[in-house]
Structure 1
Amino acid sequence: MKGVREIYLDNAATTKTSDKVMKKIIDMCTEFYGNPSSMHNKGLESDNMIREAAQIVSKAILCSEDDIYFTSGGTEANNMAIRGVSKANKKRGNHIITTEIEHSSVRNVYRSLEEEGFRVTYLNVDKEGYVNEDELKNAVNDDTILVSIMYVNNEIGTKQNIEKLGNIIKNKNSKTYFHVDAIQAFGKYVINVDREKIDLMSISGHKIHAPKGIGALYVRKGVKITPIIYGGGQEGGMRSGTENTSGIVALGETTKETYKNLKVNTEKMVEFKTKLVSELFKKVSDVYVNGPDIEKSAPHILSLRFKDIKGEALLHSLSDVGIYISMGSACAAKKHDLSKTLSSIGLTENEIYGTVRLSFSPDNYVDDIPYIVDNIATAVEKIRKVLKG
């Protein structure tokens, strides 16, 4: 916004594409523009760059590059995993499991499969958003073909113990596939798909400073899965359509940079979040953290609940002064539906309406915290006065 100091605190919704990645994209569009399916040198050049990106992504999660399939983003990756596995394994069983706090790109796929005759179990979570392990263990049976659980919740930052949950699933039924939506975890944590018993995992580029429109799905070798998009047989027949070469290369570049600087970037975000909460709680009354304590939650996500205000009013007040936050998941923001995640952890309707989400990146600086806190305090005071009449 011209003439206004801008502080972007909505990085769980999307991130700014880095300058280094933008240069790669321009190079891909102007120099390395060949169709990767073409057999001439220009096409082979593009295909080699795709393979190089697959190697980078696979190295980050400790798998084979042949197990990485590029998609248009996280939503497609989730659909591809859930529908692809469910359809391919229906003769073996029709029971699938997920949680009450999944992203809509998981939850709504499960609902559609439920309408098609699959039996779905929705696991409950506690007040911090953690899956009930006993409930999971009791839910998995001989008929269970798939379990989907997100690594990090996009609204409240709950980080599940994926390794423990994976072991529970495999110990109960070794043939049950474990799908993990890691869209908010990739680039924030070291992920080991073998150790954590992950069979399929979804990631998204624009959450880690790549452009929108690129994601990937990890599929463990041997997983029985059917494509959901048919055509020319690209991506080993798993995902037809001409590859988004520039997006794929950008995802590889940002993955490399993100994991090279993972420790430093994580420490920066933790410091920013910790200081922000400390200063905010000094200046604003009746404000609470939703979900886990900030020491336990993902470094980049903070869900705050304010008494006697509307979160949407706070969002717009801060936007007017160049501070950009959200009310929760960007994918559901315009529907004005009550957050399923917040209701699942026990919040009332008024508490849900009083909730906002702040989400961070290494581009946020502690020097901006006084400006952020002062503007939140001013906005909250004004909103409370208006609502109290």
Structure 2
Amino acid sequence: MIYFDNSATTKALPAVLDTYRTVSEDFYGNPSSLHAVGGKADAMLQGARKQIASLMQAKPDEIYFTSCGTEGDNWVIKGTAFEKRQFGRHLITTAIEHPAVINTMHQLEQLGFEVTYLPVDHRGFIDPNDLKNALRDDTILVSVMAVNNEVGAKQPLDEIAAILADHPNVHFHVDAVQGIGKGLMATLRNPRIDFITFSGHKFHAPRGTGFVYMKEGRHIAPLLAGGGQEDNQRSGTENTPAIAAMAKALRLLLTDEDQKVAHEQAIRRRIYEHVAKFPNVVMFSQLTPDFAPHILCFALPGVRGETIVHAFEQHDIYISTTSACSSKKGTESSTLAAMHVPSQIATSAIRVSLDDQNTLAEADAFNAAFDQVYAGFAKLFATPQQ
């Protein structure tokens, strides 16, 4: 079996599961309890927080645990809107954000907030000048993803940060769910970035884990009210075993990160150079440095993406259409639509997403399967268009 759907979720590593099991058995108390069993669990929880903070070059009190990237995005965006609504009701994002951001913005629009959606070019990148022109006196938040989850475009975060240096009261949020462990740490540590959201299951941690980096001095309203956990910012009993396992997964991810990125790039190049030779293939991802190392998106015009996915499944190879969050709906990719890709091509798009656990041998097996899949669909191909 070849698993090339790592942008949807990753398999928890054995060492990570060992940590989860050990903490579940030995640190089972509620971290909020006053007794020694609770204190032991709290010590484990705070140890995980310190480890993640160290890995992220942050302070422990800048790390807040969540259940996933979606919760983190919702919290930062809605929390900013509710906290700063007396100063303004204008937010800025891009047209290609994950649904966790886009749909949250739609909800705020229904509550009277105004949102500007920055367009992207044919490669999937925003123009920083569009952001500069969109900023207003009542702008309270700019939210831009680090890496697009469908085509892998790395947004110009440093340029955005430079623009926002002149707007210190505007919160700058980055969804880095697809960016962690992909050679972007220097960019993610740009001091102008105020909030970053992460999801554990994207880097071999258990599902139901995530964390938010919140720069010291920034304030947002809590999304979840309750017992006051996470410094009154995110109530709910912390999932100590899963959080400890997430800290372990992050440490393993960032160990030899450069070598892992180079390995993913080599696998992606092997597939790209083979697939791109075929006449009825439209490539959306590119091999240039401004694309992430692990995502490859392309289309076979004339064949629906879900049909291609199932064709590869017959070879025991698992890929996806575009975003896993919308693939079962059979809808057109929002990113490709924003890139002005014709609908008949966008609905044929598929995504191969890699991980350092994948191999070049798997890339060769994919290419061999692609030859057979391509030949089987030859009669259905439409004329490719860019």
Give TM-score, length-normalised by structure 2: 0.95
1:180 counterpart (157, 167, 174): 174
Q: Could you tell me how far 1:309 is from its partner in structure 2?
A: 2.1
Tell me, in whole angstroms, the C-alpha distance in 1 between the residues paired with 2:285 and 2:135.
26
- Between 217-226 and 233-242, the greater mean CA deviation after superposition: 217-226
Q: Specify the code of the residue in structure 1 equivalent to 2:307.
A: A
1:130 counterpart (106, 111, 125): 125
Say what the alpha-carbon RMSD is for the aligned residues: 1.5
- Indicate the residue corresponding to 2:363 in structure 1: 369
Q: Could you tell me how far 1:321 is from its partner in structure 2?
A: 1.6
Tell me, in whole angstroms, the C-alpha distance in 2 between the residues paired with 1:219 and 1:186.
16
Tell me, in whole angstroms, the C-alpha distance in 2 between the residues paired with 1:370 and 1:270.
14
1:21 counterpart (16, 23, 37): 16
Tell me, in whole angstroms, the C-alpha distance in 2 between the residues paired with 1:194 and 1:183.
15
1:265-284 to structure 2, matched below 5 A, reads: 265-282=260-277, 284=278
2:160 counterpart (162, 165, 169): 165
Q: Could you tell me how far 1:295 is from its partner in structure 2?
A: 4.1
Q: Could you tell me how far 1:375 is from its partner in structure 2?
A: 1.1
- Indicate the residue corresponding to 1:87 in structure 2: 82
**Percent of aligned pairs sharing the same letter:** 36
Tell me, in whole angstroms, the C-alpha distance in 1 between the residues paired with 2:371 and 2:155.
32
Q: Could you tell me how far 1:312 is from its partner in structure 2?
A: 1.2
2:281 counterpart (284, 287, 290): 287
- Between 310-319 and 292-301, the greater mean CA deviation after superposition: 292-301
Tell me, in whole angstroms, the C-alpha distance in 1 between the residues paired with 2:51 and 2:192.
21
Tell me, in whole angstroms, the C-alpha distance in 2 between the residues paired with 1:289 and 1:361.
20
2:44 counterpart (32, 49, 54): 49
Contact in 1 for aligned 2:29/2:37 (Cα 8 Å): yes
1:323 counterpart (305, 317, 321): 317
Q: Specify the code of the residue in structure 2 equivalent to 1:18.
A: L
Contact in 1 for aligned 2:196/2:214 (Cα 8 Å): yes
2:146 counterpart (144, 147, 151): 151
- Between 302-311 and 77-86, the greater mean CA deviation after superposition: 302-311
Tell me, in whole angstroms, the C-alpha distance in 2 between the residues paired with 1:109 and 1:147.
13
- Indicate the residue corresponding to 2:247 in structure 1: 252
Tell me, in whole angstroms, the C-alpha distance in 1 between the residues paired with 2:347 and 2:249.
35
Q: Could you tell me how far 1:34 is from its partner in structure 2?
A: 1.2
Q: Could you tell me how far 1:332 is from its partner in structure 2?
A: 1.0
**SS of corresponding position for 1:156:** coil
Could you give the per-residue CA deviations for residues 222-273 of structure 1, whole angstroms, max 9, x where no partner exists? 2121101011000001110100111110110011111112111111100110
Q: Could you tell me how far 1:184 is from its partner in structure 2?
A: 0.4
1:234 counterpart (218, 229, 232): 229
Residues 50/370 of structure 1: CA separation in 2 closer, same or farther (3 Å cut): same
- Indicate the residue corresponding to 1:118 in structure 2: 113
- Indicate the residue corresponding to 1:306 in structure 2: 300
2:183 counterpart (189, 192, 195): 189
Tell me, in whole angstroms, the C-alpha distance in 1 between the residues paired with 2:160 and 2:330.
32
**SS of corresponding position for 2:216:** coil
**SS of corresponding position for 1:150:** coil
Tell me, in whole angstroms, the C-alpha distance in 2 between the residues paired with 1:13 and 1:240.
27
Contact in 2 for aligned 1:25/1:247 (Cα 8 Å): yes
Q: Specify the code of the residue in structure 1 equivalent to 2:372.
A: T
2:332 counterpart (331, 334, 338): 338
Tell me, in whole angstroms, the C-alpha distance in 2 between the residues paired with 1:277 and 1:113.
40
Structure 2 residue 215 is matched with structure 1 residue 220: yes
Contiguous gaps of at least 5 residues in structure 1: 1-5
Contiguous gaps of at least 5 residues in structure 2: none
Q: Could you tell me how far 1:303 is from its partner in structure 2?
A: 0.6
The size of the alignment, in residue pairs, is 381
Contact in 2 for aligned 1:162/1:196 (Cα 8 Å): no
Contact in 2 for aligned 1:124/1:131 (Cα 8 Å): yes
Contact in 2 for aligned 1:314/1:380 (Cα 8 Å): no
Contact in 2 for aligned 1:301/1:359 (Cα 8 Å): yes
Residues 190/139 of structure 1: CA separation in 2 closer, same or farther (3 Å cut): same
Tell me, in whole angstroms, the C-alpha distance in 2 between the residues paired with 1:208 and 1:218.
17
Could you give the per-residue CA deviations for residues 105-128 of structure 1, whole angstroms, max 9, x where no partner exists? 000000100110001111011111
Tell me, in whole angstroms, the C-alpha distance in 1 between the residues paired with 2:125 and 2:63.
28
Tell me, in whole angstroms, the C-alpha distance in 2 between the residues paired with 1:384 and 1:45.
62
- Indicate the residue corresponding to 1:3 in structure 2: none
